[in-house]
Structure 1
């Protein structure tokens, strides 16, 4: 656990919402889907899957925003930063927006998903790429490999 230098603190642009991560991420990802492109106003979104029991909002009350679908994207009600997502049917994880961490320069996406929708010039350092997403069982070996090889805070 020392290699992860936990806990990590993070928050939105205005500081109204603050959170703490106390468990290592299961996986770091870049998503190229058109939904993430629009939500992040970028070529892709950066996220890390954190165990739910290792994530807590320590200040403020985030609100649901974004696509209002089965995946609940949570935002700061004041500055409107997209901060994290509760994926539908996966209550054991929270997808935290990597750049919301106070210290995120160490972050490297290990997996990229929805590469079939990526902008032609968009590249990442991800070592695993998928046209859409692996099924849930397909994530197991990726999580195991990330635990050994994924980027760590410096």
Structure 2
């Protein structure tokens, strides 16, 4: 969706997320996961996934100040470029198993102040 080797995301609690300017449009597939884009430039802004209503998957580069953001987990490393690396604490060839998420969220909240983020 971005023609990049990376997809940097921040998992933001839904109740803490708001679009403060403009009205995003749904683009891409219109299935269970809804990808929202800027109406003007069509940049991918965030995703809301059915069944995961408690968080919004935000493109961290869409933040006014992304300087605070450091990846905590990286996913889909089975597809990464051989020279690519991140400072992520956890690394997964695909996605973490569902039973791992609670532990990851708890660990992140204790280490990084409570707003989850993931990069891959």
Do both proteins adopt the same fold according to a TM-score greater than 0.5, normalized to the shorter chain?
Answer: yes
**What is the CA–CA distance in structure 2 between the aligned matches of 1:126 and 1:150, rounded to whole Å?**
12
Does the 8 Å CA contact 1:113/1:132 hold for their aligned counterparts?
yes
TM-score by length of 1: 0.68
**What is the CA–CA distance in structure 1 between the aligned matches of 2:85 and 2:2, rounded to whole Å?**
16
The 1:67–1:125 alpha-carbon spacing in structure 2 relative to 1, beyond 3 Å, is farther
Unaligned runs of 5+ in 2: 115-120
Choose between structure 1 and 2: higher strand proportion: 1
1:60 Cα deviation from its structure 2 partner = 1.7
- Higher mean Cα deviation, 104-113 or 116-125? 116-125
Question: How big is the alpha-carbon RMSD for the aligned residues of Structure 1 and Structure 2?
Answer: 1.7
Unaligned runs of 5+ in 1: 1-38
1:64 Cα deviation from its structure 2 partner = 0.8
1:134 Cα deviation from its structure 2 partner = 1.3
In the TM superposition, 1:56-71 aligns within 5 A as 56-71=18-33
Structure with greater contact order relative to length (CA < 8 Å, sep ≥ 6): 2
Partner of 1:128: 90
Residue 144 (structure 1) aligned with residue 112 (structure 2): no
TM-score by length of 2: 0.86
Over 4 Å off, 4+ runs:
none
**What is the CA–CA distance in structure 1 between the aligned matches of 2:40 and 2:18, rounded to whole Å?**
19
Partner of 2:9: 47
**What is the CA–CA distance in structure 1 between the aligned matches of 2:29 and 2:72, rounded to whole Å?**
25
